[in-house]
Amino acid sequence: MGKPTGFLEYKRELPTDREPLERVQDWQEFHHHFSEEQLRIQGARCMECGTPYCHTGLMINGMATGCPVNNLIPEWNDLVYRGLWKEALDRLHKTNNFPEFTGRVCPALCEGACTAGLHGSPVTNKNNEYAIIERAYDEGWVVPQPPAIRTGKKVAVVGSGPSGLAAAAQLNKAGHWVTVFERADRIGGLLMYGIPNMKLDKKYVQRRVDILAAEGVKFITNTEVGKNYPVGRLLQEFDAVVLCGGSTSPRDLPVEGRNLNGVHFAMEFLYANTKSLLDSSLRDGKFISAGGKDVIVIGGGDTGTDCVGTSLRHKCKSVTQLEIMPKAPVERAANNPWPQFPRVYKVDYGQEEAAALAGDDPRQYCIMTRKFAGDEQGHVKEVHTVQVEWVNDNGRFIPKEIPGTGKVWPAQLVLLAMGFTGPENNLLDQLGVERDAASNVKAEYGKYATNLKGVFAAGDMRRGQSLVVWAINEGRGAARECDRFLMGSTNLP
């Protein structure tokens, strides 16, 4: 695939980003883009490796290896190299409904499993994917394709995040009448309100939603099933239901001072900011502002990074990110071999911006929060922490406080970005679906069926907090099994 000697002749290159000091002044996406010639050179680096792991989507010792939606990466890299862009789009859409989303926000599990990266630099699969889909939109190749025949079956999809949209797209393609219920005022779920605009401009989410609507998918917003739309009505009016409500219960930090004003869950902060940005370009003031404040973000990961980047755009006084885990190694550890996704130290956009403004990475490692302290008005003013070391306790590692390492951090805004514990209970309790030990909907991977006949579950609501690409994988899989239930057989992949 590509040019057999391309990985030897050409170096891995990515487009540059806008300068950090420039991009923190606005909410626009910050990546520059390559010319066609540059993209074809990068496509040429995809080697004839014989057994490509990049598109396998395997789990090896609990670690993802390759693309969860099984993108035909060597094939469309070869087509990019040869300049066959429309054919590349056809191959890309065979496995991924929304490459414009994964091409922006996926961590590129495929690149971690790239054979060229075993002893060198992996192929720029993610950037190539982005280039294919955006060229396709520019050329007018992505158009509504409603099904030629309707089955007459009606399916409800609850939740319009990536798993819900993928399920809706596939079920509509099979000819069913699909209705998507969303409790927010805009369609997109995590894609719309969970990921900041500078990482995923919302016009691109709406662009795809408009295409789905033109293909026949019905979207109903401001409607929460189990609250202002009865569960009984849902089960009565539809032939099948696919639950894609996400994992939206945030992990809390039950320490002294947790109830002080100014201590918020990260998603409260990010959701309100994006809604205000879309509604009024932040002029309505209906968001939690970090402007002029010392901000403490507790927790790493993408959500923590997004809190850092958003706070900087609010022009905060300072921002510090506290992580209880140790700093990741610069190179793969012995227990993290290729082709697993590499767990190594990386500087994401938020940390890069903070370093450009303040001179240093905002992350502090092996830090445990002991308490929050407030002022006379009940507003947070300090975060009290202690350093920890991770020690082996009968085969499992636990954090142990290091005496004499207590520290007090000034903070007028604290953002809790420690992940999520599972789906919310209201709808699931009303339906009576079984739950697993982690409180997720109990449904076997690959089958997606709950204990209720005709009710399926997919995405974070079933597997727990995960990636957009895994949500798309599950939405597609649940659609396939739902179609099989409705029709007795299925042609969906």
**Listed residue (230, 347, 367) closest to 297, CA to CA:** 367
Residue 56 amino acid letter: T
- Is-same-fold flag (154-248+421-487; 252-418)? yes
CB-based contact 345:330 (threshold 8 Å): yes
Q: pTM for this one? A: 0.96
Q: State the pLDDT at residue 133.
A: 98
Tell me the per-residue pLDDT of 394-445, one tens digit each, with 9 for 90 and over: 889 999 999 999 999 999 999 999 999 999 999 999 999 999 999 999 999 9
CB-based contact 171:157 (threshold 8 Å): yes
Find all residues with CB under 8 Å of 402, minimum gap 6, and list them.
386, 387, 388, 389
Q: State the pLDDT at residue 3.
A: 85
Q: State the pLDDT at residue 2.
A: 73
| Gap between the Cα atoms of 482 and 487, Å rounded | 9
| Gap between the Cα atoms of 183 and 448, Å rounded | 23
CB-based contact 80:39 (threshold 8 Å): yes
Contacts 24+ apart (CB under 8 A), 342-350: 342/112, 348/302, 348/305, 349/17, 349/30, 349/198, 349/199, 349/305, 349/309, 350/304, 350/305, 350/306, 350/307, 350/308, 350/309, 350/312
- Strand boundaries in 163-317, DSSP class E: 177-181, 218-220, 240-243, 249-250, 263-265, 294-298
Which helix (H) or strand (E) element contains residue 225? none
| Gap between the Cα atoms of 104 and 203, Å rounded | 13
Query: Domain 154-248+421-487 adopts which CATH fold?
Result: FAD/NAD(P)-binding domain (3.50.50)
CATH no. for 252-418: 3.50.50.60
Tell me the per-residue pLDDT of 162-193, one tens digit each, with 9 for 90 and over: 999 999 999 999 999 999 999 999 999 999 99
Residue 199 amino acid letter: K
6-139 CATH choice from 1.10.1740.10, 1.10.1060.10, 3.40.50.720, 3.40.50.620: 1.10.1060.10
> Which residue is associated with the tokens 């087509």?
79
Q: State the pLDDT at residue 265.
A: 98
Mean pLDDT by groups of 10 residues along the chain of 493 residues: 86 97 98 96 92 90 91 96 97 98 97 93 97 98 98 98 98 98 98 98 98 98 97 97 97 97 98 98 98 97 96 98 96 92 95 96 97 98 98 92 98 97 96 97 97 98 96 98 98 96
DSSP conformational letter for 117: G
| Gap between the Cα atoms of 237 and 482, Å rounded | 16
Residue boundaries of the structural domains of the chain: 6-139, 154-248+421-487, 252-418
